[in-house]
Every structure is written in structure tokens, then in C-alpha cells.
Structure 1
Amino acid sequence: MATPAQKLADALDVLERLQTRGRVAIRSADISRTYRERLITAGFLKEVMRGWYIPSRPDEPLGESTAWFASFWGFCTEYLTERFEDQWILAPDQSLLLATGNRTVPPQLLVRAPGGRNRPTELIHHTSLIDTNLALPPVRDRMVDDDGLRLFSIDAALIAVTGQFFTNRPTDARTALATQRDGSALLERLLEGGHSVIAGRLAGAFRNIGRDRIAEEIVATMKSAGYVVRETDPFAANLAAPLPRDPSPAAHRVRLMWQDMREHILEVFPAAPGITDPASYLARVEENYVNDAYHSLSIEGYRVSRDLIERVRGGDWNPDGEEADRAHRDALAARGYWKAFQAVEQSLARVLGGDNAGTVADEDHPAWYRALFAPSVVAGLARASDLAGYRNAPVFIRGSRHVPMRANAARDAMAALFELLRAEDETAVRVVLGHFIFIYIHPYIDGNGRMGGFLMNMMLASGGYPWTIIPVNRRADYMAALEQASAAGDIRPFANFLGELVTAQA
């Protein structure tokens, strides 16, 4: 007779075959009731709604949302395709968010589908989906993204959304506008539909982001066809600086977030004290190493002690016999942190000597990352290719509705981030947005929190602020403030949080 472990293994084998085929949404019909119940009991399956499940981790705490938010878009694609085949599409506003890189999980996903039920379907973790019985747009106005999600094309969605979208989602709207090289695709649709009011709104929106040529092209063309066009700016505020011509929506998103958030930071963050004695500053940083390593590693889930950190610093680290694999990984993480900290100190010396902090961070951060993970690569616990740099796969942030942008977009976003750090005059803005946007992009598979902390402290040093530690006992506050900035676009709680820590360190 098979043991319970063997029975569970048989069920896992079925689940593994489904996942190998790329399945995210698991239906009752995909797996027998016996196997399904075993997987649910063991924590490998989580029910989303009656008859539909997602894979999960058995060590995930009760009520944890990570598996769901990580699976959300894939689940919706498979669920909607099962119900409507290819006869569905996301609403224009949600289409614009996804097409320009905003993959935050919404509380309610609005879908158009002929035959839709016009009522919400409750999902888990305070999310829902509503399929409305509305006709689909013409085929030329549709696109399918890498997740298989069916979207309005950007130009069609810009015409279909209401003026409230520009007021309520200015960063997303401006990012979408910036993807348009000229007005031709929009004009074709505006002329065919006789959309004179929408033409005036789009002309005003393009002028708001500094694209006067497109604005004038829209107005002149519509007027030449006999339409009366009154240009109106749908945005609540002017853009501080025009956007450069850049084909990357991710880069524009970072630039727009920076413009939108910087003034809020200056209102609450303490003034920079300035650099007085570089040698004393570096000495204080060195004194902070043990405390910094303990909190930075602990906040990312490594089980470290101050004793382990001291032994690693002194080269007296041999994990053999210490709970084997886990202890080995923790010791290697601590060793990598020590090596990376030394590399960061060299970069700090450049900044304290007067070099531009954004330039130094741009040039030196690959070396910090290599130092952070080289011990794990040498020990065979990480692949050598992991040292290559930015990720080539998706990542997810535990418990967050914010889903970081795709790998190719992350590269464009990182280039824009360092461009902004180099050009920014206000240290407080470099500190808060340097750390937040780095975490928002999540450019690495692992180590984003540690690297983001190094970057933050590099910016702090450039203004003479003290080296600042985010304590592990404030992790919940830290993550909540990041979530407000990432998912809701409100940077003030995060700026206040960091400002309090900096003041306490002074």
C-alpha cells in the first residue's frame, strides 16, 4: 500500500505536468478530486473560486497573497479564454496601464465580452472580475501582450478612455501619449469616428507633455476635414519638463514618476547637512557595518546573527555542521554582504571626494552586485550567469499588488533612473526616489533590497546625511510605505518613513 508521502508525490507529479505546459489556472477538470484534495491539504493548491485553483507554496503563511498576485494576470488570461475563447478584451483604461508597463493588480478587473454577465465574479484577496456584455472593438484596434491578455491598442485606447483617465492617472496617460511617434494612427481613428471633442482633448494632452507638433497636426487635420476642434488640456497640472523622444514606455514612466513625486519629498524630508569631514564619515560607516548587515540581511529573510557577521568579516566562517544547507546559504549571504560593503565604501570615497553620486552609482553598482553574490557562485549555490547583471525573468514582491515590469523594460527603466540621479540637484529627492524607484523596477532576481539600501546610502552620503539602516523590526512599516508609492502613487508615506529614520540616525 502506498504511503501518504507516495500518494502526495503522485498528486504533485500531475500538478508538475500541468505547470510544465504553462498552466497557471488549474480547473477541477484538470486534476482528479483525490489528487486535488491532497494538494490543497498539503498547501500546493489554493482555491481562487469554485472550480478554479492556482499553485501555491506550502510554507506560505495563512492569508499570504503573494501566490495570487504573482499568478493574477496569467490566471485571468486562462479563465477568460476558457469562458469566451478569443472573444474578450480588457477595458480601455486597463489596457493602457498594461500596455505601458503598469502591471499592478487592480481591485476589480473590467472586461468586455459579448455574452458577458454584467456582474462581478469574486476572487481572493479583495479582488474581483466583471465581464460586461459589450461588443469588441475592430480587430485592428486589438493587441495581445506577452501574458496572452487581450488589450485595446494604445492609440485606440487613448481615444476610448474618458477625460477622467487623464486626471486620475496622469503618469499612465502621459506614458501612453509619449509612445506616439506622430499623430497619424490617432487621426485615422478620430476622422473615421468624427471625434472632434476627443481630438481637442488629445491635442491639449500632447501639448501638455511638450509634443506641440502632434497637437497642431491633430487640430489642423481635423479642421481641414470640416470639424470644429477646441483644444483642452485634460490634465490637472502642467508637466515640469517636456519628455525626451524615447521609444521606451518604461523609461518615460520612471521620468514621469520622478516629476510627479519630487515636490512631495521636498515638503517633508529633512534638509541635507552637507559634507564636512569625509574621513570621519567613512569611519562612522565602518562602525555601522555589523548593525547594517544584520538588519539588511534579516529584512530579506536570511537568518543571521551578529556573531555570524563578525566571523564572516574576520574570515572565520565554516558552515559545515550548522544545519547544513540553510546555514551554508546564510553564511555565504553574510560573506557576500561583507565583500559588497567594502566595494560600496570605495564608491563612497569617490562621492565624498566630490564625484557625482548618480554617476558613481551607475558606474559602480555592477561591482557591488558581483561582490554580493560571488561567494554563492564559487560555492556552487548560484549560477555563474547570475553575476551577469539585470534579470532576464519575471520577479514578484511578497504580498504586493505591484508586479515589477518585464525584464527588457527594466533595463530601459534603470538607464532612466541613473540619468535622473545624475541630473537631480536635491539630495533628498535622490535619496527617496533612488531607493523607491530601484525597488519599483526590481532589476535583479535576488538582492534588490540590499542593493537598494546601498544605493540609498550612496545618495545620503552625497548630502552629508548619516548612513541609515532600515531596521528589521520596521519591515512592515517599510513595506506598507513602499506599497503606497508603488500601487497608489503616493510617495509621502515613504518619504516620511525614511525621513524619520535619517533624523533618528543623526
Structure 2
Amino acid sequence: MAAPNEKLASSLQILKALQDRGISVFRGSAHPELTRTHRERLLAAGFLKPVIQGWYQSNNPEDDEGDSTHWYANMETFVAAYAHARFGDQWQLSPELSLLKHSGYTSVEKQILLHSPLAANQPQALPHGCSMFLYQTKPELLAQGRAPNASGLLLVPLPEALIRASPSFFHTHELAAQIVTRQVDISSLTARLLEGGHSVVAGRMAGALRAVGRATDAEQLVQTMRAATYVVVEDNPFERPLAHIGGRMNESPYVQRIQAMWSSMREIVIDRFEGIPRLSNLDSEALLHDIEARYVADAYHSLSIEGYRVSTDLIEKVRSGDWSPLINKEDRQARDAMAAKGYAEAHKRVRLLIGEVVAQMNEPAITLRRDFSQWYVTLFSPSVTAGILKASDLAGYRNNNVFIRNALHVPLAPEAVRDCMPALFDLLLAEDHPGVRAVLGHFIFVFIHPYMDGNGRLSRFLMNYLLTTGGYPWTIVTVQSQTAYLAALEQASTYRNIKPFADLICGLIESQAAEPIERITQRPESGSWTAPPPDSDPSHAFA
């Protein structure tokens, strides 16, 4: 008779086969190989979790009961699979949610509205306070040309979604409305307006087009509708002036989103920096000495935020060169030691670059664009040398999706990362306020989350590079501020509220500038971290 561990192993083998086919959320009856016995065994061990009756999702048994990360990562996939199972292809997202998706909005919507002629106007509760509402619609209102997004959700095509969306969408989701109005093809939009005789909507769309800078297209739309004998009164649906978005109208919606966020947030950051003293004449030697003096405290707190258990003794050992993975077995095997070694090497590289920029009075953003990719390589090279990571892991931006633990914000898809990172460097170069560069550079970087791991460490290096070359001191994000720090990043990412993050960073600058350097850099009394151990998932946090 098989032992319990052997039985669990056989069930895990079947679950792995499903996962290898890209199936992470499924209906039990759709996969007869995963019998009731296997499901019960996997549920008891924590490798499966129920979603609703008859539906399951893969789960990490080490996650806390209240951990929402895996659910948020799979929610849209579940909704798409459920809708296909129940309605076939006779369904679509609501026009408003379709527009959000077309606009590059990536945060989790806790209620998803589905339209289908086969629905019965009923809500369906989902885990972690989420839900979907199954709204009955007429068959003729199923849009032609519906296409699935990466999660399998069927979206109403952009012109049709703009026509059907409520006028309130233009002020409740102002940024999304601005982006999709910039994107929509004027010929397709005009054709659909003429087919449906939508004269009122045509006036609204003409006003929206003019508001986003498409005055010629607005005129063309109105003249075409009037030529077809429709009475059109132009009406701007936006309630206030819009954030500036540069570049092409049909540029990536993700790029447009970060450009608009930068434009709308910068004045808030500038106001918060008011009164914080800035050195106009930087002494590179004194600056480097100050940065070096803060190193141990900086490494302690930055690694602690990520959950590494690394003592200050290890940090000193690494910095002095006593760390030896070729001789010392503990050094070779310790993941935490690799993190400390990589941090030391990356800190040194950033510090030397700061000295070069200040001494030669170079433009910080130009030098950053040239050197930044090597910061990531330097940070993780020790882990490659020790065999913890593959050499290919140093290749560059990620090729897979990542999710932030318990956060509604979902980082951009890999293809969007490749559009947005050059746009971030362009924004840094165009910005003239060093405080805005530092705060928004940090925020936008973690919003994009370009790497599978190390995004938090790199974002804090980025922030301090831009602070110090702009006349502000190197500033340590302390482990004591971790909860507020992560919450502020979530506020900025999901709700476009940058004020908590600007307040936190500026507050740290002010408090640390007021303290003697000895107080900032003193060794922690415990000598080691007290943060929880790191996740097995490298994308576990903004850190």
C-alpha cells in the first residue's frame, strides 16, 4: 500500500501536468484525470484552493490564509474560463471595463461586469471580497470583432466601447478615457456612429477628441455626421483640463499612462520639496564620504525590507573582502550572503558613478541611461557565480509576468516593459527638478517592475543616484517605514495618489538630514534582521 507521501506525490504529478499546459484555474469536472480523490488530497495539503463550487486554483501551501496574491494573479483567468464554460463565446466585458483594458490599466478590478444574452442578472461572490456580475443583454448587443486579452477576457472593440460607455466614464476614469480617445481610429469610430445614428454620442466624441488634441479629427467627425443629415452639438465630456501626454497619439497605452502620471504628479512632488535645502555647489569628495558612511545602515534597511536575514557583521565582512564562496561553504550556499555581496558591488558602482557625474558636471539622466542596465547585472552576478541563478538571468528585462504580494497593482506585461523603460529615461531627461526625478523615477520604476527580482533595491539606488546628483543627501528607506512605504507605492500605482509617497520620502530626507551621521549609521542593537524570511516567489514585494 502506498505511503501518504507517495499518494500526494502522484496527485502533485497530475497537477503539474495541468500547470505545464498553462492551466492554473479550472473546473474539476473538465479534467477527469484529476479525480475527486486527487482533488481532496491536494486541497488538504494546500496545493489547491476552492474558488467557487466546482472550481479550483493552484495554490502555494506556504501562503497565509489571507494572502491574496495568487487569487489576484488568476482572477481574470478564472473569470474568462468560467464565462467560456457557461456562455461559450456569447459574452463580453462591459464597455467601461473593456475601455480600461484598452487603456493599459493593469490593476485588479474587484468587481467584473460580464454581458451575455445567456446571463440572468445575478452576482457571483469571489474570494478576497471580489465579485462578478452576470448582466443579461440582448443578443444584438454582442459586439462584432470581440478579441480576448492576455487573460482570455473578451473585450468590446475600442470604437464600439467608446460609443456604448456611459458619459460618466470620462470623469470617473479620466486618464483611461484620455488614452483611448487618443488611440481610437477616426474612420472606424465615424463609421460606427453613422451606422447607429448616434448623433448625441458623436457630439460627445467630437468634444473628447478636441480635448485630447485631435482637433482636426473632431472637425472631420462633426462634418461627416452633418453631411449625413445628423444634428451634432459638440460637448466636451471631460470635467477639467487633462494631464499632458507627449509623443504620438497611437503610442503604446502603457507609455501614455506613465507620461500622464508623471505630468499630473510632478507639481505635488515639487510642492512637497519646498523648503528642503539643496546644495548648489557639490563637493564630490565630501559627498562620496557621506554616502560611504551611510553604507552599512543603507544595506541593512534596504535588504531588511525584502526579508533577508543578514547581520551587520556579514555586511562588514562582504565589504572588507572576507566573504569567500570558494573557500567557505557557508558563504557559498547562503542566499542571504549573495544578496549582501550583490548589494555591496552595486552600491559601489552607483557611488562611483555619482562621483563621476558630480566631479565632471555631467547630465545625470544621460549617464544613467548609459549605465543603468549594469546595475542589475552587478546586483545579481554573485548569485550567478555561486550557481543560485543561471547566467541567462542577467540578460535583461523579464520575459514573464510578475505579481506583487497582496497588491491590487499588477506590473506591466513583458512586452510593455520594453516600451516603457525607454520612456522612463526620456521623462527623467526632460525633467528639471531633481526631487521630481528621484521620487517619480523611483515610483514609475516599480510601477513598471522591469525585472523578475531586485526591483526595490534598484529603485532605491535610482532614487538616491538622482537625489545626490541633484544636491540632496543619500536617503535611507528604513525598515521601520516599510509598511507605510509599500502602502504609499500601492496608493500611487492603483489610485494615482502620489502624495503619501512624496510625503514619506521627503519626511525621511528631512529627518535624516537633521540627525548626526553617527546616529543614522549606528549598528542595530540586535545586530541582525528581524523581518520575516523572504518568499520563494522572487516577485513577492515592491522591494
Q: What is the aligned-residue RMSD (CA, Å)?
A: 1.9
Q: 1:352 to 1:272 in 2, by over 3 A?
A: farther
Aligned residues of 1:210 and 1:242 also touching (Cα < 8 A): no
How far off its partner does 1:4 sit? 2.0
**C-alpha distance in 1 between matches for 2:206 and 2:295:** 54
Gaps of 5+ in 1: none
Residues 308-327 of structure 1 correspond to what in structure 2 (within 5 A)?
A: 308-318=314-324, 320-322=328-330, 325=333, 327=334
How far off its partner does 1:240 sit? 5.0
- Does the residue aligned with 2:397 lie in a helix, a strand or coil? coil
Q: 1:324 to 1:350 in 2, by over 3 A?
A: closer
**C-alpha distance in 2 between matches for 1:115 and 1:300:** 47
Q: Deviations over 1:288-325 (max 9, x none)?
A: 11111122122123221111111111222246554985
**C-alpha distance in 2 between matches for 1:166 and 1:274:** 43
Which of 279, 282, 290 is equivalent to 1:284?
Answer: 290
- Per the alignment, residue 247 of structure 1 pairs with 251
- Per the alignment, residue 94 of structure 2 pairs with 91
Q: Deviations over 1:376-414 (max 9, x none)?
A: 122222122221211111111111111111111111111
- Per the alignment, residue 235 of structure 2 pairs with 232
How far off its partner does 1:80 sit? 1.4
Q: Deviations over 1:92-114 (max 9, x none)?
A: 11111222321211121111111
- Per the alignment, residue 70 of structure 2 pairs with 67
Q: Deviations over 1:152-205 (max 9, x none)?
A: 11222122212211111111111212223x511110111111112211222222
1:433 and 2:437 aligned: no
- Does the residue aligned with 1:140 lie in a helix, a strand or coil? coil
Which of 44, 49, 71 is equivalent to 2:47?
Answer: 44
Which of 168, 171, 174 is equivalent to 2:178?
Answer: 174
**C-alpha distance in 1 between matches for 2:199 and 2:512:** 58
- Per the alignment, residue 223 of structure 2 pairs with 220
How many residues align structurally?
Answer: 503
- Per the alignment, residue 261 of structure 2 pairs with 257
How far off its partner does 1:242 sit? 5.2
How far off its partner does 1:35 sit? 2.0
- Does the residue aligned with 2:341 lie in a helix, a strand or coil? helix
Aligned residues of 2:113 and 2:132 also touching (Cα < 8 A): yes
**C-alpha distance in 1 between matches for 2:512 and 2:106:** 36
Residues 15-164 of structure 1 correspond to what in structure 2 (within 5 A)?
A: 15-29=15-29, 30=31, 31-135=34-138, 137=141, 139-164=143-168
Q: Deviations over 1:50-73 (max 9, x none)?
A: 222211111112211111111112
Deviates more, 1:404-413 or 1:214-223: 214-223
1:385 and 2:413 aligned: no
- Does the residue aligned with 1:79 lie in a helix, a strand or coil? helix
Q: 1:186 to 1:243 in 2, by over 3 A?
A: farther
Deviates more, 1:379-388 or 1:134-143: 134-143
TM-score (norm 2): 0.89
Aligned residues of 1:251 and 1:415 also touching (Cα < 8 A): no
**C-alpha distance in 1 between matches for 2:277 and 2:372:** 23
Aligned residues of 1:269 and 1:496 also touching (Cα < 8 A): no
Which of 186, 190, 211 is equivalent to 1:187?
Answer: 190
Aligned-pair identity in percent equals 47
One-letter code of the match for 1:55? Answer: S
Deviates more, 1:27-36 or 1:81-90: 27-36
Aligned residues of 2:265 and 2:498 also touching (Cα < 8 A): yes
Q: Deviations over 1:2-33 (max 9, x none)?
A: 22211211111111111112212132323323
- Per the alignment, residue 348 of structure 1 pairs with 354
1:14 and 2:17 aligned: no
Q: 1:321 to 1:241 in 2, by over 3 A?
A: closer
Deviates more, 1:234-243 or 1:363-372: 234-243
**C-alpha distance in 2 between matches for 1:116 and 1:239:** 38
1:274 and 2:279 aligned: yes
Aligned residues of 1:265 and 1:492 also touching (Cα < 8 A): yes
**C-alpha distance in 1 between matches for 2:432 and 2:156:** 39
- Does the residue aligned with 1:451 lie in a helix, a strand or coil? helix
TM-score (norm 1): 0.95
Q: 1:6 to 1:272 in 2, by over 3 A?
A: farther
Aligned residues of 1:210 and 1:243 also touching (Cα < 8 A): no
- Does the residue aligned with 1:348 lie in a helix, a strand or coil? helix
**C-alpha distance in 2 between matches for 1:4 and 1:242:** 60
Aligned residues of 1:431 and 1:456 also touching (Cα < 8 A): yes
One-letter code of the match for 2:247? Answer: P
How far off its partner does 1:258 sit? 1.1
One-letter code of the match for 2:347? Answer: F
Aligned residues of 1:178 and 1:243 also touching (Cα < 8 A): no
How far off its partner does 1:141 sit? 4.2
Deviates more, 1:345-354 or 1:191-200: 345-354
- Per the alignment, residue 518 of structure 2 pairs with none
- Per the alignment, residue 500 of structure 1 pairs with 507
**C-alpha distance in 2 between matches for 1:275 and 1:49:** 61
**C-alpha distance in 2 between matches for 1:26 and 1:380:** 36
Q: Deviations over 1:319-349 (max 9, x none)?
A: 6554985x2x211121111111111112212
1:337 and 2:340 aligned: no
One-letter code of the match for 2:352? Answer: Q
How far off its partner does 1:272 sit? 5.2
Aligned residues of 2:243 and 2:260 also touching (Cα < 8 A): no
Aligned residues of 1:96 and 1:172 also touching (Cα < 8 A): yes
**C-alpha distance in 1 between matches for 2:252 and 2:277:** 33
Aligned residues of 1:25 and 1:79 also touching (Cα < 8 A): no
